[in-house]
Every structure is written in structure tokens, then in C-alpha cells.
Amino acid sequence: MRIFVAGGTGFVGEYLVRELLANGHSIRLLVHGRSIITEGVERIPGDVTSRKSFAPALEGCDAVINLVGIIREFPLRGITFARLHQQATANLLTAAADNGVRRYLQMSALGTRPGAVSAYHRTKWQAEQAVRDCSREWTIFRPSLIFGPHDSFINMLARQMRLAQVMPVIGSGSYRLQPIHADDVARCFARALILPETVGQTYELCGADRLSYEELLDLIAAALGRPKPWKPHLPLELMKLAIPLLQNIPQFPITRDQLQMLLEENIGGDEWQKVFGFTPRGVREGIAEYLSKA
């Protein structure tokens, strides 16, 4: 297949491009600004929020994969959930329809639902609805926290732990996550292209292990070859007041939306494994592969 990929220059895109190439597909990769040139990939300069900048490149493609998404807004730079989740999706769907592209795969996020509290999940839901209303043969994926050598979350925690064995925890720290490796997410996207039963379906992609936030911190420490960190607990109500005042500072590590999503937990089922035919990689082994070498 010839596949048009948007958002493929980011973390998950690195794994997806590699997986698609290994499966014999050809790729047209939308790039915005500077990007790493991957052998065997046709680079298409453009901006996903400007349909005319990339739409002609969908001619002759068999599928579109949309990985575009942000976890944090910077409105003064035009980086907002509305633009990158909703507008980008609408542009890709229209371009796909105009060029007769039959297949469409969408990256969403676990926890996306109607009536969500966080703006992140609300805009992801609205993007999902646009996909469901389109006339393409669509599949939506909702991954949990994605980890791998170049992830942001696990590596951020590891960097903090290397500096000091003190890891402040907001609230109880008992809220759970079910991380999934980026390789496993990429395999699901690639397999969906050849599995007709995935058309019109939404899949929650969760890993093999359910961990509390505190347990995850201990696993990261173990992967680094360090003892369990001291985890002082910060009062939840106090942090709910402080974070909105500090979140506009780019260096501040968490936003109100991110706190909300953390407290809601990030767990799901394993039904997707029956469809895609494999068991996801465990967190302990997965993070040890890259943290122990850093």
C-alpha cells in the first residue's frame, strides 16, 4: 500500500514508519519544518492545519494514518487542542475523501469520551466523532500511556530521579496506569491495514501491566539500578490551586489537564489482543531496555 502519514515525525511515528516499511508499504510522510530524513520515505512538506498545503499528496494513496496530537497547549504559538486535534482531523478526512482514499486510521487516546473533564479528551472525542461520521473505512485507536526509548513521560521521570532520589507525588499516588510499548502500538496500526474486521472499530490499547504511579516510580528506579526513591506526598487540593497558576510556564512539568487525566487513571481491557494476535511487552522489561543503557 501507499500510505500517507501525518504526525509521523514524532515519537510514535518513528516506530510506525519502521513497522510500515518492514511490511512492504511505501510512505508519504507529512513534514512540518525540519525533520529526520528516513530512507525509503517520501517527504511531503506541509502543515496539517492547512489542507491545501498537503492535500494533493494524497492522490494515489491507499490509506491515511493520523498520529497528530499534543498533550499540552501553547496558544500564543498557535498550538492548541482545537487546531491539532479537531481541525487537523477534519482537514485529513476531507483530503482523503477528495482523493478517493479508502482507508483511514486515527490515533486517539485512552479516556476519550463524551463529557470528559479535560480539554484534551474533549477535543480527542470531537475528532473521533468526525471520523465516525465520515465515509471512509475507519479504525480508531485509543492507546494508554506509550513508552519506548524516546518517550517523554518515562524519560522525564528518569531524568528527575538521576538528579535526586526524591520524587514528589501529587495526592495518594495510587492512581493506576497501563503503559503500552510504542512497538506494540505500531504493530496494531500496521495490522489494521490488512484486517478487514477492524473497519468501523475503536480499540483501547493497553499494556500487560497495571501499575500505580508509585509502583511505576519504583520500576524506573530499579531500571536505573537505584533504590526506591523517597516519595513525599503533596496535598491534592493545594496542587489543584497551584497548578493553574504555574502551568503557563513552559518548564513547569504538569498542567491542570494532565493532573486531571492522571487522577482519572489510564487503564483498560485486553480485548484488542484477540483481534491483533499478540501479547504486549511488559513495562519492567521494556523500560529496562533503554533506561539501563542511558
- CATH code of residue 98: 3.40.50.720
Residue 251 makes CB contacts below 8 A (sequence gap 6+) with none
pLDDT the model gives residue 203: 98
Assess if residue 218 is contained within a domain: no
The predicted-structure confidence for 169-222, as pLDDT tens digits, reads as follows 999 999 999 999 999 999 999 999 999 999 999 999 999 999 999 999 999 999
The three grid cell numbers given for residue 20, joined into one nine-digit string: 510500515
Query: Which residue range(s) make up the domain with 130?
Result: 2-151+179-207+267-280
Q: Residue type for 154, please? A: I
Distances from the Cα of 270 to the Cαs of 44, 57, 193, 251, in angstroms? 36, 36, 20, 36
Assess if residue 47 is contained within a domain: yes
Directed axis angle between helix 88-98 and helix 119-132, to 10°?
A: 10
Assess if residue 241 is contained within a domain: no
Question: Taking the mean position of all CA atoms in its chain, how far away is CA 221?
Answer: 24
Q: How far apart are CA 216 and CA 20, in angstroms?
A: 31
Compute how many other C-beta atoms are within 10 angstroms of the C-beta atom of residue 85. Answer: 28
Assess if residue 75 is contained within a domain: yes
Assess if residue 199 is contained within a domain: yes
Q: Rounded mean pLDDT of 254-279? A: 92
The three grid cell numbers given for residue 221, joined into one nine-digit string: 528506579
- Phi and psi of 43, rounded to 5°? -85, 130
pLDDT the model gives residue 34: 59
Assess if residue 236 is contained within a domain: no
- Residue 227's pLDDT band (boundaries 50, 70, 90)? very high
Assess if residue 224 is contained within a domain: no
Q: Rounded mean pLDDT of the chain?
A: 93
Residue reference for cell 504486549: 280
Q: Where are the alpha helices (DSSP H) in the chain?
A: 11-22, 81, 88-98, 119-132, 153-163, 182-192, 213-223, 236-246, 256-264, 271-276, 283-291
Distances from the Cα of 166 to the Cαs of 153, 233, 247, 292, in angstroms? 17, 11, 22, 19
Please tell me the pTM assigned to this model: 0.94
pLDDT above 90 covers a percentage of the chain that reads 84
Q: Residue type for 89, please? A: T
- Phi and psi of 281, rounded to 5°? -70, 145
- Residue 36's pLDDT band (boundaries 50, 70, 90)? low
The H-or-E segment that residue 71 falls in is: none
pLDDT at 294 > cutoff 70: no
Q: How many domains does the chain divide into?
A: 1
Assess if residue 108 is contained within a domain: yes
Q: How far apart are CA 156 and CA 152, in angstroms?
A: 6
